Structure 1
Amino acid sequence: MNIIEKTDEELLQIVLPMWDDLIKYSNKGNYGKFIRNFSYDLLLGLNEVELGNQFAKSELTRSLSTDYDFLGFIRRGEHVTCLFRVRSTKRAGEWLGRMVVGYERGEVKIFAASVF
């Protein structure tokens, strides 16, 4: 099955817990649990030194609020991009959160994730 064929409701049941985990483990700086749902290709492309620095030094990635707004889905090819309005517990303003999901070996995995 192609993930873009899922309804919004079906997708939300899958992606919201994944997004919650990304926020939780980013705030805790727990790299091992942060990447546990990443696709194999994403893991291969990660610069672990840079990601480690981000966890250690980025105030934003260590203070993401669990109070976020889901904005919508963009379906393309074999992936769905999930968009979120994200806030920080320490910095004023709003950021755009993005998580791209798709199937890898029969499981839904994260193919990209960012806050900007």
Structure 2
Amino acid sequence: MNIIDKTDEELLAIGTPWWEDLIKYSNKGQYGKFIQNFSTDLLRGLNEVEVGNQFAKSDLTRSLDTNYDFLGFIRRGEHVSFLFRVRSTKKPGEWLGRMVLGYERGEVKIFAASIF
């Protein structure tokens, strides 16, 4: 099965709650819950110490506004990128949020998540 074959509605039903969880657990600094839907490859590539420092020291990762704008999808290969406009409750401006979903062993997983 290829995730790019799912309809927009099916993708939003999967991805929206996961994006909201990423925001919630980032704001709370709950690393274990933040990574709960990550793919094995993504987990292997993460430096837990570095991510922990980001949670502890970054104003942005601890102050994400729960109100965001969904901008659209990019379907490529075997992955779908969700794009979001994100704001902070403490820092002025806007950021681009990206979450990439795909299949791993028959289950949908997060293959990338970032704000820049």
Give the TM-score normalised by the residue count of structure 1: 0.99
Q: CA deviation at 1:22?
A: 0.2
- Distance in 1 (CA, whole Å) between partners of 2:107 and 2:69 is 25
Structure 1: tracts of 5 or more residues without a match: none
- Distance in 2 (CA, whole Å) between partners of 1:36 and 1:65 is 21
Q: CA deviation at 1:70?
A: 0.3
Q: CA deviation at 1:107?
A: 1.1
Q: CA deviation at 1:31?
A: 0.3
Match of 2:86 in 1: 86
Match of 2:19 in 1: 19
Q: Which amino acid aligns with 1:50?
A: E
Q: Which amino acid aligns with 2:115?
A: V
Match of 2:39 in 1: 39
Q: Work out whether 1:109 is the aligned partner of 2:109.
A: yes
Find the residue that maps to 1:112 and give its secondary structure: strand
- Distance in 1 (CA, whole Å) between partners of 2:63 and 2:107 is 29
Identity %: 83
Give the TM-score normalised by the residue count of structure 2: 0.99
Q: CA deviation at 1:49?
A: 1.0
RMSD over equivalenced CA pairs, Å: 0.5
- Distance in 2 (CA, whole Å) between partners of 1:61 and 1:110 is 18
Structure 2: tracts of 5 or more residues without a match: none
Q: Which runs of 4+ in 1 moved over 2 A?
A: none
- Distance in 1 (CA, whole Å) between partners of 2:4 and 2:81 is 10
Q: Which amino acid aligns with 2:6?
A: K
Match of 2:3 in 1: 3
Find the residue that maps to 1:113 and give its secondary structure: strand
Find the residue that maps to 2:71 and give its secondary structure: strand
- Distance in 2 (CA, whole Å) between partners of 1:65 and 1:21 is 12
